[in-house]
Amino acid sequence: MSDVGQPVLRTAHHDDLPRLHEITAASLVHDPDAASVLELLWGIAADRPDLRIVAETGGTVTGLALGWVAPPAAGADPARAGHTSLLAVDPAHRGRGQGRALLTAIEGRLLAAGAGHLVVRGTPPHYAWPGIDIRYTPAVCLVESAGYRRGPDAFNMLTDLATADLATAADERRLAALGVRVRRAHPADGERFLAWMRTWGGSWAGEAAAALAYDPPRCHVAVQGEGPDEEFVGFACHGVNRDTWFGPMGTAESQRGRGVGAVLLRRCLRDQRAAGITESEIGWTGPYRFYARAVGSRLQRVFRLYRKDPRPSPAAAPQLATPATPVPALPLEQES
């Protein structure tokens, strides 16, 4: 039997999930929907269960690491990205090197699975975060001490749904007079809508497909024309991966400046408010002023994104590492 102080790393299995829920709930203190986050990130590793690792101490699971290898990317850097999507250690077992041991182990398995480089950022289209929320400061310290290079920061905004003005009737009448109708997307839009979504690039088509799969769909669209001549000119989604989050959203260049985006945004936020959600989190925000003016959103969360290029001949991952900075959690998440 192993020493109670010496954790053993092994592949996780479904019977571990109740204990993993306890660890993530205790670790993701800035994410009240930690249970759904774990289910999301556990699920994307379904085809590679070896990218689910737990640390077991004295017969009890005390930490976990989840990973995902992105499909090959087109462009200048086609190498597959190996994502560390979640890393968490039981609060009672921090400060003993388990976080570092788990990170080293998941890195080794990601490289063995074909990753050309390692990242700590979103796992599109099923991402939980843009990167590491800086309030999980020990996680930031861990990855930086492990040789990861910091990339651009990402920002989320919060919208108070109790106070935001989400009325759209007058604006929808104005847009209708201009030949633009706004409606909820429906499954019948199917491939025609998703083909248009693919023109946006990135992971938005995958996220839109997930939004369409809900009943009712968590997507609203702006269209011009009727019947077979109908064309999409705007869209907005909500609750794709996390119920309280908004996005993605886009408006065709020909329609910008007409208020189409504001109507789509408010329709989505009304859906969230009707579902009992009190605050909507706008993920990976770019146009801060638009959201602040349209619905009173405010900047709230800051995420750091990281990348690490492995050495040509990486050493085999050790089963146990030396003590490291205490690690509460790595909420790791868009891109490959």
Q: Which two tokens stand for residue 292?
A: 């602040």
What would the pLDDT profile of 96-150 be if each residue is shown by its tens digit? 999 999 999 999 999 999 999 999 999 999 989 999 999 999 999 999 999 999 9
Note if the pTM is more than 0.75.
yes
Longest dimension (CA), the chain: 76
Query: What is the per-residue pLDDT for 72?
Result: 82
Q: Which two tokens stand for residue 41?
A: 């990130």
Query: What is the per-residue pLDDT for 311?
Result: 75
Residues of the chain with pLDDT under 50: 1-3, 314-336
Residue 125 near residue 118 (C-beta atoms within 8 A): no
Query: What is the per-residue pLDDT for 79?
Result: 82
Residue 308 near residue 111 (C-beta atoms within 8 A): no
What would the pLDDT profile of 181-191 be if each residue is shown by its tens digit? 999 999 999 99
The CA–CA distances, whole Å, from 65 to 61, 98, 140, 280 equal: 12, 10, 15, 28
Residue 308, by phi and psi: left (phi above 0), alpha (psi -120 to 50) or beta? beta
* pLDDT more than 90, % of the chain: 85
Q: What is the dihedral of CA 41, 44, 48, 49, to 10 degrees?
A: 40
Residue 219, by phi and psi: left (phi above 0), alpha (psi -120 to 50) or beta? beta
Compute the distance between CA of residue 120 and CA of residue 146 in angstroms, rounded to an integer: 12
The beta strands (E) that lie in the chain are given as 8-11, 52-57, 60-69, 81-89, 117-120, 132-133, 149-160, 180-184, 219-224, 231-238, 245-251, 279-282, 298-308, 329-331
Closest CA to 309 of 117, 120, 142: 117
Closest CA to 136 of 326, 329, 332: 329
